[in-house]
Structures are given as C-alpha cells and as structure tokens.
Amino acid sequence: MKKNQSSSNVLIYFTPTAMKDANTGRFMFRKIEAAETNALTEKFGDYLTRFKCLHFGESALTVGAFLEGEPVGIISVYMRPLPAPLDDVRETVIDVLEVDKAHRRQGIARELINRVEQWAKDYRSLQIRTWCSGEKTDMIKTLYALGFCMCPVKIWVDSRKEEAGGFYAVKQLNSFTRTIL
Ligand SMILES: CC(C)(COP(=O)(O)OP(=O)(O)OC[C@H]1O[C@@H](n2cnc3c(N)ncnc32)[C@H](O)[C@@H]1OP(=O)(O)O)[C@@H](O)C(=O)NCCC(=O)NCCS
C-alpha cells in the first residue's frame, strides 16, 4: 500500500494500478500525457484547453482511444474531496468525454468509462459523476446505458442569463466502509 496526500491534506491509502495499454477491436486505449494536448485539440477542438477540460498528474487521468495512431476518443477525469462534512471522501469527476463522429456506436465510450472507473475504484473514490446539458442526448443515453443514476436539474447559467436543463449523472464505485478512512 502506498500513502498519498490529496489536495485537501487528507491522507489517502491506495493500491496503485498501472494503466495498461489495451487493444479492443480495432482501437488501442492508453493513458494520455500533457505533452499530447496539441494533438487532442487539433482533433476535438480548442474547447479542451479553453475550458480546462484536460487533467493530468497525480489525481487525474486522461485516456484516449486511438486508431492507427490517431486519437478517436477521449475521456479526462480528476479526483477531488467532497465538501464538508464528507471532506475525507473523494469523488471522481468526468470533465470531458468525446468520441469522433465517424467511430461512434462501436463501444469506445464504454471502454473509456470502464477504464477510468477501474482507476477511480483503485483510488478509493466513492463515486464517479458528471454534468450533462439537456441537448447532449447521445451523452445522456450513453451515461444511462452505462449504469449511471440520472438526476434531472435546471441550473442558472450566468453568462447566458438563463436557465439550462440537464442531468447530473452519478455512479457509486466503492462502498461507505471502503471509502471513509
Ligand atoms: C456520447 C458519446 C461519447 C458516446 O460514444 P460512443 O463511443 O458512440 O458510445 P458507445 O458505443 O460506447 O455506446 C455505449 C452504449 O451507450 C448507448 N448509446 C450510445 N450512443 C447512443 C445513441 N446515440 N443513442 C442511443 N444510445 C446510445 C448504447 O446503449 C451503447 O451501447 P450499444 O451500442 O451496445 O447499444 C458520443 O456520442 C459523443 O462523443 N457525443 C458527443 C459528446 C460531446 O459533445 N462531448 C463533448 C463535451 S463533454
């Protein structure tokens, strides 16, 4: 067991699992490093850096799906403590999930989510969650199909001065007893 220090100074004990490369069908899945950011923004758009959607380093993981060396899918997640009084519990947040239009419905998102869930479980993350706006129907259906609980909500978007509908999607990964240290 390795001892680790989270950003909130909570001591976390975890069993690190190497993020192994894997070939699933035609696609290769592997961890992506910060140095590869340009290739990702070229493929998926500069929103990735503009909105700081990519996360690297100790409490984060970015995984890509590749076809013949080209990125065709991406997921980026980070871990953070829940607010008090649960601030000794960590959760994992999906900041971006996108699959190239030409390669959808071939199980890429399923594999990307599986891989970050395994990583988050190993790090004793209680849950994995994300926010999805109402117009992203493919994403909503995907999260639902992959076992997330879907919580409909309306949020106030200050920049647009309007309400927007969407879903918080959350899936429990570890039980209470494994997560509270
Ligand atoms: C949502 C998205 C990531 C799904 O990727 P994908 O690789 O096509 O998904 P998968 O093939 O792994 O699908 C897994 C399951 O989700 C469900 N699903 C996925 N897309 C679906 C759709 N369009 N309609 C209905 N169900 C769908 C299915 O149950 C599917 O399993 P099946 O194909 O065996 O029936 C992809 O459509 C996408 O990138 N959309 C745009 C998202 C976006 O805007 N991201 C940027 C901001 S975060």
Domain borders along the chain are 2-179
Average pLDDT over residues 74-86: 96
Is the CB of residue 43 less than 8 Å from the CB of residue 71?
yes
Higher pLDDT, 75 or 24: 75
52 CB within 6 A, ligand 1: no
Above 70 in pLDDT, residue 70?
Answer: yes
Residue 92 has pLDDT above 90, yes or no: yes
The torsion angles phi and psi of 167, rounded to 5 degrees, stand at: -135, 135
CA-nearest residue for atom 24, ligand 1, is 138
Q: What are the φ/ψ torsions at residue 13 (nearest 5 degrees)?
A: -105, 130
For residue 85, give Cα distances in angstroms to 38, 89, 91, 120.
39, 9, 14, 21
Confidence of residue 3 (pLDDT cuts 50, 70, 90): very low
The mean of the pLDDT values for the chain is 87
Q: Whose CA is nearest to atom 3 of ligand 1?
A: 98
Distance 121 CA to ligand 1 centre (A): 23
Alpha-carbon distances of 126 from 54, 75, 88, 94, 172, rounded to whole Å: 21, 19, 10, 14, 6
Name the CATH topology of 2-179. Aminopeptidase (3.40.630)
Ligand 1 centroid–CA 36 distance in Å is 24
What confidence score (pLDDT) does residue 1 get? 36
Q: In this structure, which residue's CA is closest to atom 21 in ligand 1?
A: 138
Is 106 close to ligand 1, i.e. is its CB under 6 Å away? Answer: yes
Q: Is the per-residue pLDDT at 59 higher than 80?
A: yes
Distance between CA atoms of residues 86 and 84, nearest Å: 5
Of 150 and 12, the one with more pLDDT: 150
Greater model confidence, 173 or 9: 173
Pocket test for ligand 1, best of 55, 75, 138 (most atoms within 8 A of CB): 138
Which residues are within 8 A (CB) of 4 and not within 5 positions of it... i.e. 6 or more apart? 11, 12, 13, 14, 58
30 touches ligand 1 (CB under 6 Å)? no
